[in-house]
């Protein structure tokens, strides 16, 4: 677990992007790009300061199935809190 965290932190520095953003681009953007029915800007607005709401959905929706709990938490926080 620590190793994974270190890796995520490292990738943050390497790409100068929050890990949540990287996860979003890899796992979510193909369906939630700007111009789609529920783009990131919509999710941002609806879930502002409510990462918990996203995390719960991720566990019951097919789109969250390939992600670890930590990845879900990171991407949810990134959407809801911008970090
Ligand atoms: C295969 C396509 C697909 C992928 C990949 C995907 N989503 Fe979705 N997502 C959907 C669809 C379809 C809906 C339901 C849209 C609707 O309500 O009309 C949805 C709904 C949601 C909602 C609820 C929106 C609301 O109205 O409250 C959230 C939050 C969400 N997705 C987040 C994510 C996150 C985070 C990821 C990446 C981990 C992700 N999605 C990846 C297709 C996808």
The pLDDT of residue 7 is 67
Would you say 40 and 24 are in contact if contact means Cβ atoms under 8 Å apart?
yes
C-beta of 28 in contact with ligand 1 (< 6 A)? yes
Closest atom of ligand 1 to 71 CA is: 38
CA distances to 15, 36, 37, 77, 80 from 18, in Å: 8, 23, 25, 10, 13
CA distance 79 to 83: 8
Q: At 28, is the pLDDT very low, low, confident or very high (cuts 50, 70, 90)?
A: very high
Residues 32-46 have pLDDT tens digits of: 999 999 999 999 999
The pLDDT of residue 23 is 93
Residues 47-78 have pLDDT tens digits of: 999 999 999 998 888 887 789 999 999 999 99
More confident residue, 80 or 63: 80
């Amino acid at each position: 677990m620590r190793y994974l965290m270190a890796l995520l932190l490292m990738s943050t520095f390497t790409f100068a992007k929050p890990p949540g953003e990287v996860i979003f681009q890899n796992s979510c953007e193909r369906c939630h790009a700007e111009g789609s029915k529920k783009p990131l800007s919509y999710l941002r607005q609806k879930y502002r300061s409510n990462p918990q709401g996203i995390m719960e959905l991720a566990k019951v929706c097919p789109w969250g199935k390939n992600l670890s709990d930590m990845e879900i938490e990171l991407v949810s926080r990134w959407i809801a809190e911008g970090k």
